[in-house]
Structure 1
Amino acid sequence: MITFLHSLGVVVAWAGLFYKLRALRQNPRDPALAALCAVFALSGMSFFVSLPPVWARLDELTGIPNIAALVAQSCVLSLVVGQQVVLTYWARPPERARRLVRWQLTFCALSLAALIALFCLLTPTVQRLKGFTLYYVHDPYYIAYLSLYIGVYLIGEANVFRVCWGYSRVAGRTWLRRGLRVIAVGAFVTLGYGAVRAGNILGTVFDFDLSAWEDVAWLCGDLGSAVTLVGWTLPGWGPRVAAAGHWMTAYRRHRRLYPLWAALHAAVPTIALAPARGAFADRLVLRQMEFRLYRRVIEIRDGQLALRAHHDPAAAERARHEALAAGMPEDDVRAHVEAVRIRSALASKAEGRAAAADGTTPADPPVARNDLSDEAVWLVRVATAFAALPASAAHNGGDGAGAGSGDDGVQVEVMRRQSADGG
């Protein structure tokens, strides 16, 4: 599991680095962006050298057992400070931020020097690809080494959590707010790693053992770090993913409205703003989907208005009774009734007669729809009910028989299936 988590961290970190490098090339003078790129690079390096094959190979090349531990933990300590640098540049005026960053970098350099010195005093002669901390935690030099490392780690990650969660409450942009919250959640999870490592140190003093929590420590550290890295990039790619989701939704609704729209367009060609397309050509329309969807909604409503004189209140009332008898939910009843009303009006127009001479429509409680998006959702439900109608429903308004005479069983089964499928 640990190898998998390290590998996941490598992929997330270096993917984020390549993503941010594109932005850095466009704005090379942005110190916060440069620091963030360094955070991604250091994170990827810490995960990479922690992989057992890389760990063993690095030891072999340098001749220093467990040198990979020092490299990985030095990268982690540096990236924790790097995150503070990013937040400093984001939160303070440039001149004040530069002064504070100099102190942060000086602290980082001194901490790294102390870490290296303590590692040299430790002289770890036994290679430990797994359980390095547990093996050396009783060495006094390693206790000092780990105390320094975990102290910086816990303070840094706690500050990232505090600052990012606080800023997320006042961030104006939606995806920036979400990104900050994801960073905060990831930083909070990584505190679990720091808590277990602090427990390893305290266990040598108070005589308790946290070796059973080793997998939990790595899960918190690696998974929390990966989540944090995702959060740093989320404001950039999040809106694009959301836009793709909106496009997919619009495309799917546009396609599901086609049968209803095509039937209305065949009866009232003037409703279409653009020339009509066949079903296959309609599937190939990929651009301006939201505009096309709303245009289709408007054209369907225009078609219904044009057929108003052909509506048959009796056919709609029969459809209502049949739907209620079939046990359909209220919204599905409304959609089914509207679909039958459209089908009967189309049949009446095709036969050249006006089913409702006074131009009235059957009384039907209005469906609350706040905007065009709600209207599109409702018409998709109607279009689904329209497509599910048996052929006999087209004649409901003509002879007073229709679905109520010979096709009751089929009609009820269709309505039940429509209700089960959610309309």
Structure 2
Amino acid sequence: MPLASIVHLVALVTIAIAVAYRATTWREDHKVPAGRALSLAMVNLFVVYLLGWAPFYWLAYDLLGRIPSLPQVIQHIAWMAMSCYAHLFVIRVSTPIGRMRKRLRFGHGLFAVALPLLLIGYVIGPLRIGLPIVGPSGTHDPGVLVYDLIWETHNIIVLVDIMLVRWRSMAIERTFLRVGVRFMGLGCLIWLLMLIHKVIYQAIVSMGYTLPYEENGVHGIQFLFSAPGVCFLVTGMTIPSWGPRVARYWHRLRAYHQLTPLWEALTPARAAMPGAALRSRNSRLRQRVIGIRDALVGPLRDHLDENTIHLAKQRAMRSGLTEDDAQAVAEAAVIAAAVSAHTNSKAAAPPDHRPPQLRWAQDFDAETAWLVKVSQAYHRSPIVSAIVESLR
């Protein structure tokens, strides 16, 4: 199988997986104009590559009554629609509110003008001469050249405007949305080069010259542009959905391991608090966070000393640490002192003892992040070990 066909099939499968993934978020996407535009852009991209696969193209050609180049017209309309929806998506997420309506009208208007022109070009070009498909080496017919220039010009204008809109826009606040738009911009740049090459190639062929290579097809060089372009586009279109999930997974995985020093230090206090064995990493992380807090408000509560936390924080501040870092060191020190007292069976504080107020957060991720900071201070800070040694 030619390399171009292999690349095309890989791209087709990749896009199909991406479309299926986007379908899982359609319930949320269809309520948001930007999400809806992105999903429709991916569906049209899939149609473009499906009709670009030769076996399916000729199957569609037979099913549509062998009307000249009709599947290719559908493919080019889908290509224009894909560009249009990608354009609308970038406008909605990148353009300031005051300019958005004007840019959206431009995107809709451009497609509304190009679509009837494309159909006219089809009638005076491929349909007039009965061409089953515009071949990989182009054609000398001026009507076919006009037809090709219409959809190519539309897409070139759209791709240029996507890059201009992104360049001139304000910064996108959501990290993965910003990354996705940047990936889409790289894909648009590569496809822009591909379309410019198409226009030059077809113009040269229409003037009667023959070039020593094919522009598309199994032996064409289009895949050199198409393959990286579709990789960037698909990544950019999907990363706003899966990027935060992957980042959250890796963040919690890292937090789970970073909590190990504090978790293991509290083992004596947790011995009387058995927990069920959990399988998922997220459940085990939640168990660690809850277990640490339970140990602090349970067995260790009467060993937490206000003076210890104040002494540790003063030392940390004098060493040049920030307020947050000093607070983390102070809490790590008072926990270490409490663990030592509990392990050595020292007398607990009197009943009227009020333990120091430790920092906590209602949000699980924020609470985890703070305990990670305390755990790292417990493991690394020389102030913690010095405080415990002085108390001994």
Which TM-score applies when normalising by structure 1?
0.58
Q: Give the equivalent residue in structure 1 for 2:127.
A: 120
Q: Give the equivalent residue in structure 1 for 2:308.
A: none
Deviation at 1:234?
A: 3.1
Over the residues paired in the alignment, what is the CA RMSD in angstroms? 4.5
Query: What fraction of aligned residue pairs are identical, expressed as a percent?
Result: 15
1:108 aligns with 2:114: yes
CA distance in 2, matches of 1:223, 1:380: 45
1:50-79 CA-partner distances (Å, limit 9, x unpaired): 223311211111223543322212210222
Larger RCO, structures 1/2 (Cα 8 Å, 6+ apart): 2
- Give unmatched runs, 5+ long, in structure 1: 267-274, 307-341, 353-369, 383-423
**1:13·1:229 contact (CA, 8 Å) conserved in 2?**
no
Deviation at 1:34?
A: 4.2
1:77-115 CA-partner distances (Å, limit 9, x unpaired): 222223333445553557646654552342132233234
The alignment of Structure 1 onto Structure 2 pairs a total of residues equal to: 311
**2:259·2:372 contact (CA, 8 Å) conserved in 1?**
no
1:273-306 CA-partner distances (Å, limit 9, x unpaired): xx5336x737678448379449749979x99xx8
CA distance in 2, matches of 1:282, 1:102: 53
Distance 1:55 1:257, change over 3 A: farther
1:276 aligns with 2:279: no
Q: Give the equivalent residue in structure 2 for 1:12.
A: 18
Deviation at 1:182?
A: 1.8
**1:21·1:37 contact (CA, 8 Å) conserved in 2?**
yes
Deviation at 1:138?
A: 3.6
Q: Give the equivalent residue in structure 2 for 1:173.
A: 174
SS class of match (2:171): coil
CA distance in 2, matches of 1:276, 1:285: 20
If you compute each CA radius of gyration, which structure gives the higher value, 1 or 2?
1
- Give unmatched runs, 5+ long, in structure 2: 1-5, 304-335, 347-368, 382-392
**1:256·1:380 contact (CA, 8 Å) conserved in 2?**
yes
Deviation at 1:223?
A: 3.9
1:237-270 CA-partner distances (Å, limit 9, x unpaired): 432332222222223444576544426766xxxx
Deviation at 1:148?
A: 2.3
1:372-393 CA-partner distances (Å, limit 9, x unpaired): 54554576789xxxxxxxxxxx
Q: Give the equivalent residue in structure 2 for 1:250.
A: 255
1:159 counterpart (150, 158, 161): 161
CA distance in 1, matches of 2:19, 2:345: 68
Q: Give the equivalent residue in structure 1 for 2:240.
A: 235
**2:114·2:154 contact (CA, 8 Å) conserved in 1?**
no
Deviation at 1:142?
A: 2.8
Distance 1:227 1:122, change over 3 A: farther
Deviation at 1:146?
A: 2.3
1:116-138 CA-partner distances (Å, limit 9, x unpaired): 2222134224x6xxxx5423344
Q: Give the equivalent residue in structure 2 for 1:142.
A: 144
**1:189·1:220 contact (CA, 8 Å) conserved in 2?**
yes
SS class of match (1:211): coil
Q: Give the equivalent residue in structure 2 for 1:313.
A: none
1:389-421 CA-partner distances (Å, limit 9, x unpaired): xxxxxxxxxxxxxxxxxxxxxxxxxxxxxxxxx
**1:36·1:83 contact (CA, 8 Å) conserved in 2?**
yes
- Give the letter aligned to residue 120 of structure 1: L
Deviation at 1:233?
A: 4.0
Deviation at 1:371?
A: 7.0
Give the alignment of 1:14-53 within 5 angstroms. 14-16=20-22, 18-19=23-24, 21-26=26-31, 30=33, 32-53=34-55
CA distance in 2, matches of 1:212, 1:25: 37
